[in-house]
């Protein structure tokens, strides 16, 4: 579902272009607010109808009818569950990527599709994979495609109402109320999405009768808690892979392949086995005690993993089953420097919003009889630029120290604002967005786990150029990465430097571009003040 939501971001970007052009045309024609609202409803309806077709064509999905093979136990489970629930068996697709995840999409139940990555099938046990599949089928049975489309329509309608009434004298109060409701409604839609995720989790627990299987799967997927021990998977199971793909995945002495496959010539591949409950408890403490966790959750489509595990523990108790992933007993919030970090995180945004508001809303406020003082804009810009510089330094300071994924995951103090400068060595097992050629982000695996690597660049098109030129060559290679370990809703490392086999080095310049932008804003503010 996470990858599905990320794919939708791309679709919404295209949708936004059409929306902006259509709105400009309607405004030029002087269309009434009712016409503008109808335009939005029609446009969202068209987007809803064509989205599944677009997703199929922008992601590299191998469908079962064309040779991809879901393991027999999982296929039998899906067929049995759908038979019991009176559902048509969804079309099953597999993305050839070592990044473990799954998602579902469609218009109605009868044309629903479920997609899993080959990395997920490697990492999870059959029971855990069944729990994930049941979760996705839960989305299908609950009509979540329709529910979330209707819910997502509300913020757009409110925004449209604001745009087409803000210049009408007698209804300006309504227009700006609609704009305020637009912002609030976006968080309500996200809350609804998180509620639907809990609903699908509950469905999976009932369908499998094994709530802990879903807990274990969520821990492996969200935290990369996998181990390089246990049984081996035969390479011949990946029948959907073309020979040319296998040849491309070979690297240096011997054969190295994507998705953790190694030593193909001996017919064995690296399997990723289960996470220790004690380690899982240590890692989940971050979700429970770090105050940033709830801040990040507010803007997320998915609940915090620890909270989902807590819900599964309650399901297990109701079924009189043993809880294998008990949550930490000590859940006291560790505030630390949270308030200072929150201040330097939000202050540049406050200054930017205040500056924009003063510039754009002066005429509106004057029309309501408010006296708007002048001369404060340069000071606001200076404060905003200075706080931006402090924010950049705070988020990117530190000397790079050698670490492992397993040790990093136990750090409960780290956040997106408070990073750790780290050096990791391991193998790139896939792209951050499986099956997407435009994804520059990568996934690294070392002997202790798997972690998402964010390739952030503030230079226009730099991320896309890396994605289409160099990212694919990194897959399957042993690399050393320097960057900043952070935690949002999931752990990740923002890359600073990637050193690959053969001496190739890739660098990210995001912080330096940000420094330059903040410095320019500061200079402009000072010159503006002195003018």
Catalytic residue among 128, 136, 197, 482: 136
- CA pair distance 450, 223, nearest whole angstrom: 8
Distance CA 341, CA 204 (A): 38
Which ranges in 290-376 belong to alpha helices (H)?
A: 292-298, 305-318, 338-367
Integer Cα distance of 484 and 362 in angstroms:
41
The Cβ-side half-sphere exposure at 101, using a 13 Å CA radius, reads: 23
Structure tokens at 429: 């097992």
Contact between residue 264 and residue 241 where contact means Cβ atoms under 8 Å apart: no
Intra-chain end-to-end CA distance of the chain, in Å:
53
Residue identified by tokens 């004690």 is 278
- Residue 353 φ/ψ, nearest 5 degrees: -65, -40
**Which distant-in-sequence residues (6+ apart) come within 8 Å of 173 by Cβ?**
none
The residue among 388, 399, 389 whose CA lies nearest residue 496 is 399
Rounded (5°) CA angle 311-314-318:
140
| 507, two tokens | 């660098």
Burial 487-499 (b: 16+ CB within 10 A, else e): bbbbbbbbbbebb
128 catalytic? Reply is no
**Known catalytic residues?**
136
């Amino acid at each position: 579902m996470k990858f599905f939501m990320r794919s939708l971001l791309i679709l919404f970007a295209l949708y936004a272009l059409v929306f902006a052009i259509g709105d400009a045309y309607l405004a030029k024609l002087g269309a009434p607010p009712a016409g503008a609202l109808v335009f939005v409803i029609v446009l969202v309806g068209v987007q809803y109808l064509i989205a599944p077709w677009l997703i199929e064509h922008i992601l590299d999905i191998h469908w079962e009818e064309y040779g991809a093979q879901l393991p027999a136990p999982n296929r039998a489970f899906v067929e049995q569950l759908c038979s019991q629930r009176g559902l048509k068996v969804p079309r099953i697709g597999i993305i050839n990527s070592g990044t473990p995840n799954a998602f579902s999409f469609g218009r109605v139940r009868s044309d629903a599709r479920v997609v899993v990555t080959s990395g997920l099938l490697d990492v999870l046990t059959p029971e855990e994979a069944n729990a994930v599949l049941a979760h996705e089928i839960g989305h299908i049975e609950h009509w979540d495609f329709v529910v979330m489309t209707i819910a997502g329509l509300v913020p757009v309608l409110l925004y449209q109402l604001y745009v087409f009434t803000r210049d009408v004298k007698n209804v300006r109060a309504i227009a700006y109320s609609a704009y305020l409701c637009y912002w609030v409604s976006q968080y309500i839609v996200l809350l609804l999405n998180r509620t639907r995720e809990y609903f699908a989790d509950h469905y999976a627990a009932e369908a499998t009768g094994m709530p802990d299987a879903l807990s274990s799967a969520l821990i492996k997927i969200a935290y990369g808690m996998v181990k390089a021990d246990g049984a081996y998977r035969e390479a011949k199971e990946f029948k959907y892979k073309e020979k040319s793909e296998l040849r491309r995945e070979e690297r240096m002495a011997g054969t190295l392949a994507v998705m953790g496959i190694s030593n193909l010539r001996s017919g064995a591949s690296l399997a990723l086995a289960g996470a220790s409950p004690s380690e899982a408890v240590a890692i989940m403490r971050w979700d429970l005690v770090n105050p940033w966790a709830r801040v990040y959750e507010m803007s997320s489509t998915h609940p915090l993993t620890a909270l989902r595990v807590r819900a599964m523990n309650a399901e297990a108790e109701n079924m009189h089953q043993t809880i294998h992933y008990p949550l930490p007993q000590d859940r006291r919030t560790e505030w630390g420097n949270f308030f200072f970090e929150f201040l330097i995180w939000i202050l540049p945004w406050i200054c930017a919003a205040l500056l924009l508001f003063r510039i754009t809303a002066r005429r509106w406020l004057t029309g309501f009889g408010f006296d708007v003082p002048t001369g404060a804009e340069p000071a606001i810009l200076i404060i905003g630029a200075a706080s931006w510089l402090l924010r950049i330094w705070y988020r990117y300071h530190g000397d790079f120290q050698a670490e492992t994924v397993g040790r990093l995951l136990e750090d409960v103090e780290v956040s997106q604002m408070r990073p750790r400068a780290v050096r990791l060595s391991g193998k790139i097992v896939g792209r951050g967005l499986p099956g997407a050629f435009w994804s520059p982000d990568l996934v690294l695996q070392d002997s202790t786990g798997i972690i998402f690597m964010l390739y952030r660049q503030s230079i226009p098109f730099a991320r896309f150029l890396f994605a289409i030129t160099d990212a694919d060559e990194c897959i399957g290679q042993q690399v050393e990465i320097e960057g900043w370990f952070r935690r949002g809703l999931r752990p990740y490392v923002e890359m600073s430097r990637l050193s690959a086999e053969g001496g190739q080095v890739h660098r990210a310049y995001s912080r330096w571009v940000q420094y330059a932008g903040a410095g320019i804003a500061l200079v402009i503010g000072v010159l503006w003040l002195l003018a």
